[in-house]
Amino acid sequence: MRKNVLLGAFALLGIFLCSLFMTGCGDEDTGVRKKEKAQVQQESDAKYVIYLITMNQGSNYWKQINDGCVQAAKKYGNLRYEWSAPLNSTNEEQMECIDKAVADGANAILISVISPEGVNPALQRAKDAGVKIIYVDSSATLPGLAVFRTDNEKAGHMAGQVMKKALSEKGITSGIIGVGANKVVKNGILRNKGFRAEFEGTNFTVAPAFEMNGDRRNIKNYVKEHPDYVAYFGANEQITRAMCEQINDMGIHPVVIGFDTSDYTLTQIHSGVIYATMQQKPKKMGSDGVDLAMEALEGNFTGENVDKDMGVDVVTRDKI
């Protein structure tokens, strides 16, 4: 009898483990996703279903976009809102998220794509099914109704200008500057481009951009291997954090310019580790995106490829 009980227990454990390995597109539901679904999900007979699909759910930046969507969704009594994302930030998983949203009855999808063309097949399937596509933060080459974005190249220029100011204040007139930036996602490419353009013709050398590739240890090792760099630019929130963690561990004091405004980033600005960060407006991207989706679903918006630059602010210690 005991042997049978043990065999049954192992069988159940095996089924459970298999279910974990077979999940995709956030099926395991993070605590954040469960919380937001409880807050805004309406009755099962809701007239419209809107999905937000981000690159992941681990970054505070994506959570802020979701917060904006939740805020807007609460205004509508005929709407069910969902937030999903790939578990491993791959094109294949993000396409699975899109297909699942369509199968779940999505009428509109707000999405920040992992790469400009990598999820186009799934987006086209969604459009063919009549789903409205709105881009937030990072857009695909496939046309949508609109894109709510930061002018990332301009933001990169601003980061470079602030970096030059900070270096001048410290009396640093030459040296190598390290850059952590995604070289596949469009916003990372543009931020990197704008930033390094500011140092053309100067006595500074901007090192080739280094990627995180889904593992913050890569950025930490990058900083560890270059303690002589006079400055670092982190082109997104997660890269900025990894840089600062390693800088703190090593006790070095390069100039650091970051991106986005997580609590950690603001704490590092206050303590003097980060000189400044570029503040986007992700919450407004989310809320405006849901509002536009509802306008389109109600027949009050018929535009296409509308470009909405949300702007960016520079946050320094005196502004916290």
Set out the domains of the chain in order of their start, with CATH numbers: 2-149+283-309 (3.40.50.2300), 152-279 (3.40.50.2300)
**Single pTM value for the model:** 0.75
Which ranges of the chain would DSSP assign to H, the alpha helix?
2-22, 31-40, 60-73, 91-103, 120-128, 152-169, 186-197, 216-224, 237-250, 263-270, 282-297
**pLDDT (0 to 100) of residue 184:** 83
Instruction: For residue range 237-286, list pLDDT tens digits in order.
Output: 999 999 999 999 999 999 999 999 999 999 999 999 999 999 999 999 99
**pLDDT (0 to 100) of residue 9:** 43
| Residue ranges, the chain, pLDDT below 50 | 1-23, 27-43
Instruction: For residue range 65-103, list pLDDT tens digits in order.
Output: 999 999 999 999 899 999 999 998 899 999 999 999 999
**pLDDT (0 to 100) of residue 26:** 55
Q: Cα separations (Å) of 8 from 1, 4, 20, 159, 178?
A: 11, 6, 19, 59, 56
**pLDDT (0 to 100) of residue 141:** 95
Q: Which residues pair with 149 in a beta bridge?
A: 309
